[in-house]
Structure 1
Amino acid sequence: MDSPHDQVLDDFMIDNETAAMEIEQSDVIDEEEEKDPFLKFINYAKSILYQNAGDLEEDSVHCPGWSWIANRIIKTCVAYSSGVTPAILLSELSLAWNEYNRSGAPKKQPDFIAKLKRKHKRAKLPNTITIDSIYEKKFLSLSSVIEAVIIDAFTLPGTNIYMLTLGDIWSSNTIDLYLHRRFYSIADPKNGILRKGREVLLTGCYLRVATGSSVFARLLPTEYFVVLLDEDEDDDAMLLGAQFCSDSFSSISLDAVKEGASYSLYARIEHIGPLEVQGKYGSLQRRQITLVDNDGMRLKFSLWGEQVPVANLFSVGSMLAIDRPFIASDIDGSVETCDEICLEYGSATQLYLVPLILHKEQVCVTQNHYQGSRLSTASNLSQGPIVSQVTLPCDSQGSIDFSNYPFRSYVVDLRDKMTSISLYGIVTSIRASEGMFSLRIEDATGAIWAKLHFVTSWSLGRLGMGHTVYISGLSSSLTPLKSLELSWYENGTGSSFFNLSCLPAFLNTSCLHRLLCLSDLSIHTSGVQVCRVWLDQIEHCHVDTGFMHTLCGHLIDKKASSGDLECKFCHRICNGEVERTFQLMITLADDTAKVLAWCIGQTAAELLQISPSEFYELPEEEQIMYPSSLEHEKFIVAIVNSRRQDCGGFMEQDHDMVDWEVTRAIKCE
């Protein structure tokens, strides 16, 4: 048996080994962020936005998180493909953050709104816009969500038209809404609940701008209107108890429905399904919400066509009270569902919502320096100084929402039950099987597999090994074998996917990259690199044309048995989704070295300065001679270490591995 002295010595060695590993990992992170200009610019932009916000607070909502900044920078680059300047990026970030997190002018807000602001503990819904922004933009999208408070309810003089004056907790302005007639019964001054101080959610609104004698903008009537209830308020508790507690899902009778019976149901929102396309020609949209009543019975609540945006007003875990839903049955073929009945949003239906109050969990954060950080677990809290504790929302299942996490998340930080994760890393492996795609994403701290779920099929464009990607909207979970796995849903809240290696603006924006010499590249280089090169040894240039799948940018094969065209990457029959493409292997050179590289598609066309169709129509002798006219043409290229032999076409037959892929190119003088 070990002596106490030996045990203490062992513990000391383990602690020191852990500390050494963490220091080494910290050094690797620092080195990566120092070498990557994109990461450096995010940290620079973050420091600018933080200048007026002070130090990190426990529950700060005044400073944007790392992922918000990264997402906004990339979206700006997508919008301006010809490139942007640091000043443009910083301006866009500042304006977008002010819009996203405006606080309004509290001195102009009524006291009851200030009170609501203090007790406001639910998550801000996606697509939420402020009333102030409506006035500034003089525009309102039908998909926008307004989280409002009723300031006043009145009828227009000389009419029976109900009006609501709406405010919100973020704005100093108010706006009037023409109330839709289906809600007049609950707007009655004596018995109605639509009165001052009531919170409501609405979407599908049309804006009537100020014209002529009208000084103010107004909102036109919308049917997509949800009333918020608070179980802690006596009046709301009595309403729920009197109207919604006598019926349950099991009490619904189709015979009674046919005789005109109506129901008032109360259930928890368990799942909000993705947007589905129904009908022979894909012309009808549907979203289904899974509800669970107090007896544990489940029913689907379906939204069809123009009703679909109503789902944006819901949140998983909230309680939904449905007064007089339309009861559809699959017996008469009116719905396509495996259940006998389904609830729908009918012409007489009214919706009330008791929103989920988010619990919050503190996540300890340690920082390497101002711009870098990592999560601290119980085992390493003693290994370094804790700068702060960040409070993040936690849902009823214990999943923590990282959408507003202030720092960059690394693979080593990931744990079970994390949602809205953002990752920046390198694709090191891709699996595609029966419509399911999995990516292995690697950063300076490790690698992890992520499953990608698409609405229909692959829609991210060309993606290959060695490409640098930024993904947001990831969720973590444990597999049956207790290994950690990420999931990503294309239409999930906050989901985005960007391939920086193929982004045109990346080459045109000098603050997001630095020019390297070819001699600086090595087989150990990871991530996208940018070099200024010329085309060399054109006599060794290998040009071929073939066909690629337009959705994913990969080559296709013709199946011998059926003659159908099948994508090599996503293994789909893609007849009608193909276009002619180049397959190019060429030597790049600069003053320091030469590199053999390959590329296909638009990048190859940029280097050859001709379209595949035009090249294909040239006589054979001109095709052979054409590359010689390009010798010493200069380009700025994005190049990645593809680490693969299955490059497609003729490259599969080449015995020498071609390490480098050119993912983007622009001609320069």
Structure 2
Amino acid sequence: MIMDSPNDEVLLGDFMKESESTMMDIERSDAVEEDDPFLKFIDYAKSTLYEISGHSEEEDPTRCPSWSWIANRILRTCVAYSSGVTPAILLSELSLAWNEQNRSGAPKWNEQNRSGAPKKQSDFIAKLKKKHKRAKLTNTITIDSIYEKRFLPLSSVIEAVIVDVFVLPGTDICMLTLGDIWSSNTIDLYLHRRFYNIADPSNGLLKKGREVLLTGCYLRVSAGSSGCPRLLPTEYFVVLLDEDEDYDAMLLGAQFCADSFSSISLDEVKEGASHSFYARIEYIGPVEVHGKYGSLQRKQITLVDNDGVRLNFSLWGEQVLIASLFSIGSMLALDKPFIDSSLEASHELCLEYGSATQLYLVPTVPHKEQVSVALTQNHFQGSRLLNASNLSEGPLVSQVTLPCDSQGSIDFSNYPFRSYVVDLRDKMTGISIYGIVTDIRASNGFFSLRIEDATGAIWANLHFVKYWSLGRLGKGHTVYISGLSSFLTPRKSLELSWYENRAGSSFFNLSCLLAFLNTPTLHRLLCLSDLSIHTRGAQVCRVWVDQVEHCHVDTRFMHTICGHLVEKAAPDVEVECKFCGRVCEGEVECTFLLEITIADETGKVFASCIGQTAAELLQISADEFAFLPEEEQIMYPSSLEQERFFVAIANRRRKGSCEGFMEQDQSTADWEVTRAIKCCE
């Protein structure tokens, strides 16, 4: 359950009444959920990280990674190691990633401090740490970690505090010494000359204690073990202002509040007039690709001034890095932005980051809201906050605090527990769902998936930057999706939306993930007689190709982008994929459509498969097979009599599946082999 506001109360009687019917259905599916090794390993990893941290879940469920953070990290590691991963590798990756993300600023030894005594943070950084309330930006890296790794990715964000401003002796080069609230080390930055005017010792903004954000930095490490790392100049530098500080408030009022978007005059712009604007960041768009060969990137940020007028602020090329310093809801002060005066209509005006532009930011402090931990969370996950077998004793509802934006949407990206369909409500963001695809709808390049878990099903609308990019996906496949947002349709039904390029968005198809099949820790090996349409999670079996039952091998053409079959009449004829709606120019290859009986000691299953999976089972490529004489093609499957395979298998006719988009490669088989690897014996 979600409380609409901090003042709303969830009455125990209403809560139990609403959950009663749901819990009856959950009771029937609980054993199946508990048998999913992937879910078991997430819970095991979470408990292990709690032990490492020295905290218990009863103390504070937010002291360790959220369920979705762990699931994301496990699956990303599986993508990186296609040959499979061990529990030790997974736990090591999780521990290292979590420690890196949540550094507490434990004292380290600086290369310049050889005394053996740990460095202490300066007093003003320590004070700043106590009042620091804004959310940590994505890709933020600590100064301590720069010293440890001696490496700095270009996209890294540094949230720093100026510890000192000085000029290198004998030069006019201005340097800033930077610290951060998580580190005990400091690091020097060569200040870019476009910011020298605000580093003036007498009246400049860049003084001790000033917070700044920077990205696009290159690290310079001097030769030798005693070399001290320094940051080379970067243009992607934003100064933070505080409206509660008198100096900053006067600066904003005097310099940025006189102009508004509606006061822009193209004639004045053409004559060289400059402007300064103060506006709220309403939306940060995805990276767009432009240019003849798709070599130029652009990112558009929607700004709203005090009059409610909207204008886009465009970043081009490497400038897109600056967007990682922004957050929706923050106030952006733009001094001397470039205005394209070639545009005629005022509503098409666009601001750009020009050579004289300087940026100042008043970060938003996120509102927070208390959210009740739903009964389903406690029942499935066996949370120690609420024992499902003892519902009549102790507190029935536990709460966690999550950030909330100005529109009332609550961010669930750091929700400690797994999100279930039955618990979803309107105005939720950062949702993660683990379930089965029971239907796919595709129309004019727009895609919708029906995702089902043990508590229910919901439609998710997928928005891609260009076109379908998820590879083969079909009914019965097990998927994990993060970065979803909920909304009510005009008919008041709840649906989800997913945008490919939004922060925190990910999509993993476990049924087609090779490392998942190669990692026994994450799946349970089933006999064919144990397969069930009710089984949750990706199903894996050890089988052989049966030569007695029907086997049909057909060579067809496949769209390599989405993995679905297309009709190709002639080599020079353009083909449109009926699944993703894309013209398959240069994206078609010869493949198999295979219908085959697989067997083990307990039974047989008639299944279909296409593409690489079919080639793996047949141990031959489609091109090679096509050149075989017809008699050899007919007899070929009999050569596989002794071959055994590990296969991931999905049911395409799950109970409750809807009749939506019918794939062109739809088979009469109820089962699909989604991935196969040959057993090494």
1:331 aligns with 2:343: yes
Q: Deviations over 1:553-609 (max 9, x none)?
A: 00012479x942121311222121111111111111111111111100111011011
The answer on 1:289 being equivalent to 2:297 is no
What amino acid sits opposite 2:370 in the alignment? Q
Q: How far did residue 524 of structure 1 move? A: 3.8
* Inter-CA distance 413–539: structure 2 relative to 1 (3 Å threshold): closer
Q: 1:246 deviation in Å?
A: 1.0
Q: Does 1:119 align with 2:127?
A: no
In structure 2, what is the equivalent of residue 172 of structure 1?
184
> Match for residue 555 of structure 2?
545
Q: For residue 438 of structure 1, what is the aligned residue in structure 2?
A: 448
Q: What is the rounded CA distance, in whole Å, between the counterparts of 1:37 and 1:125 in structure 2?
A: 33
Query: Against the structure 1 CA distance between its residues 19 and 446, is the aligned structure 2 distance closer, same or farther, given a 3 Å change threshold?
Result: closer
Task: Confirm or deny: 8 A CA contact 2:30 2:380 kept in the other structure.
Answer: no
Task: Tell me the CA shift for residue 210 of structure 1.
Answer: 3.0
Note the residue ranges of structure 1 that are not aligned, 5 or more in a row.
Answer: 1-10
In structure 2, which of residues 464, 476, 480 is the aligned counterpart of residue 454 of structure 1?
464
| Bigger mean CA offset, 257-266 vs 591-600 | 257-266
Residue 307 of structure 1 corresponds to 319
The aligned residue for residue 596 of structure 1 is 606
Superposed counterparts of 1:204-603, under 5 Å:
204-212=216-224, 215-331=227-343, 339-365=347-373, 366=375, 368=378, 371-372=381-382, 385-386=395-396, 388-537=398-547, 540-558=550-568, 563-603=573-613
Change (3 A) 1:117 1:629: same
Q: 1:164 to 1:627 in 2, by over 3 A?
A: same
1:559–1:566 Cα contact (<8 Å) kept: no
Q: Cα distance 1:416–1:226, how it changes in 2: closer, same or farther (>3 A)?
A: same
> Of 617, 624, 629, which residue of structure 2 is paired with 1:607?
617
Query: Once the 2 structures are TM-superposed, how far is the Cα of residue 21 of structure 1 from its aligned partner?
Result: 2.4
Partner of 2:77 in structure 1? 76
Contact 2:58 2:384 (8 Å CA) reproduced: no
The 3-state SS of whatever aligns with 1:472 is: strand
Per mean C-alpha deviation after superposition, the further-off stretch among 565-574 and 401-410 is: 565-574
Closer/same/farther in 2, CA of residues 374 and 599 from structure 1, 3 Å limit: farther
Deviation at 1:551, TM superposition (A): 0.6
In 2: Cα distance, 1:321 partner to 1:633 partner? 67
* Residue in structure 2 matched with residue 3 of structure 1 by the alignment: none
- Alpha-carbon contact 2:55-2:63 (below 8 Å) kept: no
The Cα shift of 1:350 comes to: 0.2
**Quick check: 155-164 or 114-123, which moved more?**
114-123
Partner SS, residue 351 of structure 1: strand
Equivalent-residue separation in structure 2 for 1:462 and 1:296 (angstroms): 44
- 1:343 is matched by which residue type in structure 2? L
Q: Which amino acid aligns with 2:493?
A: S
| CA deviation vs aligned residue, 1:41-72 (integer Å, no higher than 9, x gap) | 00011010012342347876531000000000
Contact 1:56 1:388 in 2 (8 A): no
Residue pair 1:69, 1:93 contacting (<8 A) in 2 also: yes
Does the CA contact (< 8 Å) of 2:533 and 2:651 recur in 1?
Answer: yes
SS in 2 for 1:507: helix
Q: By how many angstroms is 1:443 displaced? A: 0.3
Q: C-alpha separation between the residues in 1 aligned to 2:364 and 2:146?
A: 27
Residue type matched to 2:41 in 1? F
Give the 5 Å matches for 1:580-659: 580-643=590-653, 657-659=668-670
Contact conserved, 2:330 with 2:364, CA < 8 A, in 1? yes
Quote the Cα distance in structure 1 between the aligned partners of 2:25 and 2:494.
20
2:171 aligned with 1:159: yes
Give the residue type in structure 2 aligned to 1:32: V
Q: What is the CA-CA distance between 1:17 and the residue it aligns to?
A: 5.8
- Partner of 2:340: helix, strand, or coil? strand
Q: Is the 8 A contact 1:458 1:551 kept in 2?
A: yes
**Per-residue deviation, residues 151-209 of structure 1 (Å, max 9, x unmatched):** 11111111111111111111222111100000000011111111111111111111112
SS in 2 for 1:441: strand
**Residues 24 and 650 of structure 1: is their aligned pair in 2 closer, same or farther, counting only changes over 3 Å?**
closer
Contact 1:162 1:184 in 2 (8 A): yes
Deviations 1:335-369 (A, max 9, x none): xx983421110000000000111010011225536
Aligned pairs, number: 646
Corresponding residue number in structure 1 for 2:55? 54
Letter in 2 for 1:239: L
The CA deviation at 1:32 is 3.4
How many Å separate the matches in 2 of 1:186 and 1:404?
Answer: 38
Where relative contact order (Cα < 8 A, 6+ residues apart) is larger, the structure is 2
Distance 1:217 1:574 in 2: 50
Q: TM-score, normalised by structure 2?
A: 0.90
Q: Percent identity over the alignment?
A: 77
Change (3 A) 1:228 1:517: same
Is 2:149 the counterpart of 1:137?
Answer: yes
Q: State the SS of the aligned residue for 1:555.
A: strand
Post-superposition Cα deviations, 1:420-440, rounded to whole Å, max 9, x if no partner, equal 111100000001111110000
Q: Quote the Cα distance in structure 2 between the aligned partners of 1:139 and 1:129.
A: 11
The CA deviation at 1:535 is 1.1
**Paired residue secondary structure (2:461):** strand
State the SS of the aligned residue for 1:368: helix
Residues 375 and 26 (structure 1), Cα distance of their counterparts in 2 relative to 1, 3 Å cut: farther
Deviation at 1:642, TM superposition (A): 1.1
Name the CA distance, whole Å, in 1 between partners of 2:192 and 2:504: 31
Q: 1:571 to 1:68 in 2, by over 3 A?
A: same
Give the deviation of 1:318 after TM superposition: 0.6
1:614 deviation in Å?
A: 1.3
TM-score normalised to structure 1 length = 0.92
C-alpha separation in 2, matches of 1:650 and 1:54: 52
Q: Equivalent residue of 1:540, what SS?
A: coil
* Distance of 2:242 and 2:31 partners within structure 1: 51
Distance 1:232 1:12 in 2: 42
Q: Is the 8 A contact 1:527 1:640 kept in 2?
A: no
Structure 2: unaligned runs, 5 residues or longer: 1-10, 108-118
Match of 1:6 in 2: none
* Residue 189, structure 1, aligned to residue 197, structure 2: no
| Alignment match, 2:112 | none
Q: Is the 8 A contact 1:58 1:388 kept in 2?
A: no
Q: Secondary structure at the match of 1:124?
A: coil
Amino acid at match of 2:39: L
Q: Partner amino acid for 1:659?
A: D
Q: CA deviation at 1:483?
A: 1.2
Looking at structure 2, the residues matched to 517 and 640 of structure 1 have their Cα atoms a distance apart, in angstroms, of: 14
- For residues 13 and 502 of structure 2, the distance between their equivalents in structure 1, rounded to whole angstroms, comes to 45
Find 1:147's aligned residue among 142, 154, 159.
159
Q: Which moved more, 1:563-572 or 1:56-65?
A: 56-65
Partners in 1 of 2:226 and 2:359 — Cα distance?
A: 32
Q: State whether residues 557 and 568 of structure 2, in contact with CA within 8 Å, keep that contact through their aligned partners in structure 1.
A: no
After TM superposition, the structure 1 stretch with the greater mean CA deviation from structure 2, 358-367 or 304-313, is 358-367
1:330 and 1:341 in contact (8 A); partners too:
no
Q: Is the 8 A contact 1:538 1:586 kept in 2?
A: no
